[in-house]
Amino acid sequence: MSTVALKELSRSKCFAGHVIKYSHPSRLLGCDMKFSMFLPESKPLEKREQKLPVLYFLSGLTCTEDNFMQKAGAQRKAAQEGIILVAPDTSPRGLGIEGEDDSWDLGTGAGFYVDATTEKWKQYKMYSYITEELPGIINQSFPVDTTRVSIAGHSMGGHGALVIGLKNPDKYRSISAFSPIANPTDCPWGVKAFSAYLGPDKDAWKAYDASELIANYSGPSKKILVDQGKADQFLEEQLKVERLTKAKNDSGKNVLDLSLRLHDGYDHSYYFISTFIEEHLEFHAKQLKA
């Protein structure tokens, strides 16, 4: 594997580690991509660098690689647990696709973590970027234990985390989500994005729908944590998180350990995420250190 040229854009010390932002040329997407990471101090282990587990966090619509690192307050717990955090950008940028900047919920900042199949959007391969290209770069460049990886996300990124974790159960030890788009084949955001990126065949959409994947899951046992605020303005029309539990119950299978927690008074913002992020890190740490 050839070495990817990482360009360091910024670095700040934080809880005895560093928050670092990088850019790199993406062979897959055809543009430069950015990601932010929290890298805890690595302790010497038998005269070699200690390998650390990694948690990928996927952000939501309109977000960049900065939102989670700047707003969630995850670094203190990540430092305590010795977990690397990686937060990628949410879409390719600057590809020159007609209309890519016309709408906040399609195109730039709205990759939906799918591999687009329509000709217009064919460079939008965020699913493969998150599952293949980016981990390859992270594993090559940092002290990562490649056997200890988990995934989480918020909103569109919660959808992405659930879909990617369920479709790749051997890659990710645990999955968590805040306010995920749980049934995108049946909500306005999802229908708009999937129609553009995947075309009119609605059967093809099911491959990126967490509720459909849970209903048909046949992989190894997996723990999933989902937190949802009851005051979330998108809950009823867009998120439909109760369908995750329904899909699991209707499947009659117990291989997925799904915990859906509903919280009075909380909305869709990072105030909600920051309230419960340490519990998510504790949840993942138990699986990553098992």
Q: Torsion-angle region of residue 56: left (phi > 0), alpha (psi -120 to 50) or beta?
A: beta
Starting at the earlier edge strand, list the strands of the sheet with 31-39: 7-14, 17-26, 31-39, 84-88, 52-58, 144-154, 174-178, 222-229, 256-263
**Is 226 within 8 Å of 212 (Cβ atoms)?**
no
Catalytic residue selected from 155, 174, 176, 211: 155
Q: Which residues, other chains included, contact 260 with Cβ-Cβ below 8 Å and sequence gap of 6+?
A: 226, 228, 241, 242, 244, 245
232 assigned to active site: yes
Specify whether 221 is catalytic.
no
Q: Count the Cβ atoms, other than its own, within 10 Å of residue 231.
A: 12
260 touches 241 (CB < 8 A): yes
- Residue of 89, 115, 227, 232 with catalytic role: 232
Q: Which residue has the tokens 């016309």?
A: 102
Q: Which of 159, 268, 280, 284 is catalytic?
A: 268
Q: For this structure, is 274 an active site residue? A: no
Q: Which residues are catalytic?
A: 155, 232, 268
